[in-house]
Amino acid sequence: MNDAYRAAFFQLHRDLPREGPGEPADVTWATERAGTPRDARICDAACGPGADIAALLTASPQGHVTALDQVDAFAAQAQARHGNDPRATVSTGDMMEITGPFDLIWCAGAVYFPGVRTALETWRKALAPGGAVAFSQVCWFTDAPSGAARDGWAEYADMTDEAGVLAQIDAAGCDVLGTRRLSDAAWEAYYTPLDARIQTLSRGASGALKDVLDEARAEAALWREHRAEFGYLLCVVRPK
Ligand SMILES: C[S@@+](CC[C@H](N)C(=O)[O-])C[C@H]1O[C@@H](n2cnc3c(N)ncnc32)[C@H](O)[C@@H]1O
């Protein structure tokens, strides 16, 4: 990402409520599946702007959320949202270096960076006994994706299907406590505010900003037209 592209990217993404699909109901479902205690030590790994911290604290009102993201601007936004709550600690950091111990590691829309297996093998040592990991992972929902869907995800060569995600969980030595697909409402929680920002910035946009807006518009359109073919699988797992 060069400087002009980076500046344009943050012009588009600054202060959006979330940076990927998700909704509070996902957190509720996952914490119930994991049996997360009301005083849990939770890590929100790759928290982005902190969209899930409130729901995590609702699930564990006497607990603590340690949230981190590798991007300063996102960590700062999460800090601005939750920094006054003594039950939350937000910082810039690498989710692959967390030490714990955590009763739950929550990771929405970011496991594809290291890969499911690597993430789970790395996080095993950061879990408290009986702890669980809940993560959403993009995958194919069809054996025969259209050319448009394949082209849209061409940069993610490791994209697999639901069975492939389950195989990676098994290879990492974890049991599956539950899986479900993220809802359309979860996707709209990301794309509706993004669409509005694209609309606002589009007038007169040129150069890197125009490129960034065109890419974001195409990404949202791809999901709207091909959402039956791909999506996020929310997985709750525990080391065997
Ligand atoms: C698709 S966004 C999801 C953010 C947030 N969980 C949400 O749902 O709004 C992916 C996030 O992963 C973060 N990220 C990627 N690799 C990371 C790492 N190794 N450590 C911390 N954050 C990371 C990015 O900075 C980005 O904020």
Residue 199 lies in a domain: no
127-152: average pLDDT:
97
What pLDDT was estimated at residue 2?
86
Residue 143 lies in a domain: yes
**Residue 83's pLDDT band (cuts 50, 70, 90):** confident
12-23: average pLDDT:
96
83-95: average pLDDT:
96
Residue 95 lies in a domain: yes
What pLDDT was estimated at residue 66?
98
Residue 80 lies in a domain: yes
Ligand 1 pocket, residue 72 CB under 6 Å: no
213-227: average pLDDT:
96
Residue 226 lies in a domain: yes
Ligand 1 pocket, residue 92 CB under 6 Å: no
What pLDDT was estimated at residue 181?
98
- Which H helix or E strand runs over 132? strand 127-140
- Domain span at residue 28? 3-189+217-239
What pLDDT was estimated at residue 204?
87
Residue 163 lies in a domain: yes
147-167: average pLDDT:
95
Distance 44 CA to ligand 1 centre (A): 10
Quickly list DSSP for 68-110: EESSHHHHHHHHHHHTT-TTEEEEE--GGG----EEEEEESS-
Our count of domains for the chain comes to: 1
Residue 140 lies in a domain: yes
57-64: average pLDDT:
98
Ligand 1 pocket, residue 51 CB under 6 Å: yes
How far apart CA 150 and CA 217 sit, in angstroms, is 17
- For residue 80 the two structure tokens come to 């601005």
136-142: average pLDDT:
97
201 — phi, psi (to 5°)? -90, -15
The domain that holds 117 is classified in CATH as 3.40.50.150
**Residue 88's pLDDT band (cuts 50, 70, 90):** very high
Between the alpha carbon of residue 87 and those of residues 14, 46, 53, 215, the distances in Å are 25, 18, 10, 37
Ligand 1 pocket, residue 16 CB under 6 Å: no
Residue 107 lies in a domain: yes
Strand, helix or coil at 124?
helix
Q: What is the pTM of this model?
A: 0.97
pLDDT of 31 strictly over 90 = yes
Q: Strand pairing partners for 91? A: 68
Residue whose Cα lies nearest atom 14 of ligand 1: it is: 46
What pLDDT was estimated at residue 217?
96
Ligand 1: residue of 92, 113, 118 to mutate (most ligand atoms within 8 A of CB) is 113
